[in-house]
Structure 1
Amino acid sequence: MGSTRYITSMGELTRKDNSLCFRKNGKNVYIPVENTKEIYCLNEVSINSKLLDFLAANNIIVHFFNYHEGYSGSFYPRNQYNSGKLLVKQVETFNSKRLCVAKSIVNGIGSNIAEVLYHYYKHNKKEVKNTIDWINKEFVQRINESKDIHQVMAVEGELWQRFYGEFKNILPEDFIINKRVKRPPDNPINALISFGNTLLYAKTISSIYRTHLDQRVSFLHEPSEGRFSLSLDISEVFKPVIVYKTIFDLVNNRKLQVAKHFDKKVNYCLLNEDGRKIFIKAFEERLESVFVHPRLKRKVSYRTAIKLDCYKLIKFIMENKEFVPFSLKERM
């Protein structure tokens, strides 16, 4: 899994000499500190302050998730990348150019959704063409003509609804979505979307942490006291590329099946431990898959592309260079 370690079982995470030790069912599993940049705790994990000191010294971020596979919070070391100058400029940009950044983000989401749908159009799913045409014409026009954030978010909401409406043409019948339900998800496809979006959100938190950007000052989403809203902004354009492509591949290739990989309760539905492991493996493989970046003239992973979007935003804030989020079509 590269630099990310996932803990899917209940247990205790401690420091053992100069490495990490996860103890479950009376057995120790050692986690090397070298190359570990983040840990995802997807179950109940006990920790202590001695461990936190060790994690901080080794610059390792830990993300915690609740019973419903939702994001609870993160521990990360004292921020090494604080920049008062950038923070002041980031707030100034929010006040003066928020709408401009928000439009760029939503245009990026639309572009990437259209590209994902076009893949299926090429593979004889001709029904998706109506949504592709709507994105390329009406959607782009309405975003460009939007006068405020509320109008932008209304068009974005319609974009996602149209995308979900195409699932019936892409996925087998037992995975078709009736409506998007988040907390908690009520069927297998909602469970996959929620879990994937949560993993991507945490990945983006880690990427932003390693830049000078401030997590709290966002542009599309309202800055909020209860969450890192800039991570929501940056992650949006990557959802079609990373989360939904992972879901479609796993479901259509029957690597995830309703009967085998989900726990269905009275009012909700979650991936079971086997299902989570399958999803995490595919999610990480997609993050680490590479493409040739046309401007950098070298191979870049999708994980790096998230960080590059952070740097693009910094360039916009500090130097007023146009902010164009990652495009699946352009590969940059």
Structure 2
Amino acid sequence: MGTTRYIMSMGELSRKDHSLCYRKNDKNIYIPIENTKEIYCLNEVSINSKLLDFISAHHIIIHFFNYYGNYSGTFYPREQFNSGRLLIKQVEKHTNQRIEIAQNIVNGIGENLYEILYHYYKHGKKEVKGTIDWIQSEFSNKILQTNDIYSIMSLEGELWQRFYNMFQYILIEEFIFQKRVKRPPDNPINALISFGNTLLYTKTISMIYQTHLDQRISFLHEPSERRFSLSLDISEVFKPVIVFKTIFELINNKKIKVDKHFEKKLNYCILNEEGKRLFIEAFEERLSSTFVHPKLKRKITYQTAIKLDCYKLIKCILEDQAFIPFSLKRGM
């Protein structure tokens, strides 16, 4: 898959011979170009066009974030995989079968949230049973009855809200959570969700880049000129599996703490540098953890599972197979 490099502090990134050089506090840190596939700039990093030309030639993606941890954008090298035929078919599929694919994505989110909550139910958190039952019965029936994108997204919103309402039974007391607030996040749990979701979104951008899919043509989310909306589609079903399992384990194992790992200002809350480092380590560990894929009969990582969902979508577009996104229960 290649290596992901994270730059946490302010500095300058440039080309030095056949390597990348990151300069901070008058010291040079060399990053080998071999095997580097993506770079996350999680602070203010200076770059120049010479660097961009160099990394473009090596098909490296750079994701940029501002000081507050908000995603600024991605430097996306010239497409290495182009397919006019797939592009035409992807547009046709959006026009003709958008509802069905969007339904399957939201149903996939529901299935994976069910598995996460059922884990806690089995371990004594009986308060989550009402939400588990709702997902299994009412939600499963409602998603099949939707016939427009607004209804599908409305039901998705209700699904996530019911999941958030269960946090009071899942998380330790100091991580009090009233409601989901995104811009800016206003408390530690919102800061973790925003940071985790953004990491997953950008990771998915990198996975889609390795396929012939067009990032701009999505099915659940509205195609947008301002963002890669297909990455939002593909990443949705992986949020319970990757982002929220990472968050719950960090909090409940007391690895991340309110008083040590966050910066709290008047109307926002963000992870500090040590907090980001801890989260990224756990996030990457989760992405690289393996499970046995029932069809391939071998172990794969969750990061590979994201790419396999891209290939499933390609099969849906070209061969008219139903797009059934990743299921934690089925392992595929």
What CA RMSD, in Å, does the superposition of the two structures yield over aligned residues?
0.9
Structure 1 letter corresponding to 2:255: K
4+ runs deviating over 2 angstroms: none
Distance 1:113 1:68 in 2: 28
Distance 2:200 2:226 in 1: 18
**Residue 144 of structure 1 aligns to a residue in which SS?**
helix
In structure 1, the residue matched to 2:242 is: 242
Deviation at 1:59, TM superposition (A): 1.1
Deviation at 1:2, TM superposition (A): 6.0
TM superposition score normalised by structure 2: 0.99
TM superposition score normalised by structure 1: 0.99
Question: What per-residue deviation string (whole Å, max 9, x for no partner) do you get for residues 149-202 of structure 1?
Answer: 111111100000000000000001221211110011000000000000000000
Distance 1:252 1:258, change over 3 A: same
Structure 2 letter corresponding to 1:277: R
Question: What per-residue deviation string (whole Å, max 9, x for no partner) do you get for residues 50-99 of structure 1?
Answer: 11111011111100012221211111211011111101100000000000
Structure 2 letter corresponding to 1:65: F
**Residue 198 of structure 1 aligns to a residue in which SS?**
helix
**Residue 157 of structure 1 aligns to a residue in which SS?**
helix
Distance 2:281 2:263 in 1: 19
**How do residues 1-332 of structure 1 correspond to structure 2 at under 5 angstroms?**
3-332=3-332
* Residues 102 and 219 in structure 2, CA contact (< 8 A), matched pair in contact too: yes
Distance 2:318 2:2 in 1: 32
Question: What per-residue deviation string (whole Å, max 9, x for no partner) do you get for residues 196-254 of structure 1?
Answer: 00000000000111100000000000111111000000000000000000000000001
Structure 2 letter corresponding to 1:145: Q
* Residues 21 and 30 in structure 2, CA contact (< 8 A), matched pair in contact too: yes
Aligned residue pairs, count = 332
Structure 2 letter corresponding to 1:270: I
Distance 1:205 1:27 in 2: 31
* Residues 287 and 303 in structure 2, CA contact (< 8 A), matched pair in contact too: yes
Structure 1 letter corresponding to 2:271: L
Distance 2:26 2:293 in 1: 47
Deviation at 1:33, TM superposition (A): 1.0
Distance 1:329 1:63 in 2: 31
Unaligned runs of 5+ in 1: none
Distance 2:2 2:34 in 1: 11
Percent identity (aligned): 72
Distance 1:76 1:150 in 2: 31
Structure 1 letter corresponding to 2:186: D
Distance 1:318 1:72 in 2: 33
**Residue 175 of structure 1 aligns to a residue in which SS?**
coil
Structure 2 letter corresponding to 1:267: N
**Residue 259 of structure 1 aligns to a residue in which SS?**
coil
Distance 2:201 2:92 in 1: 25
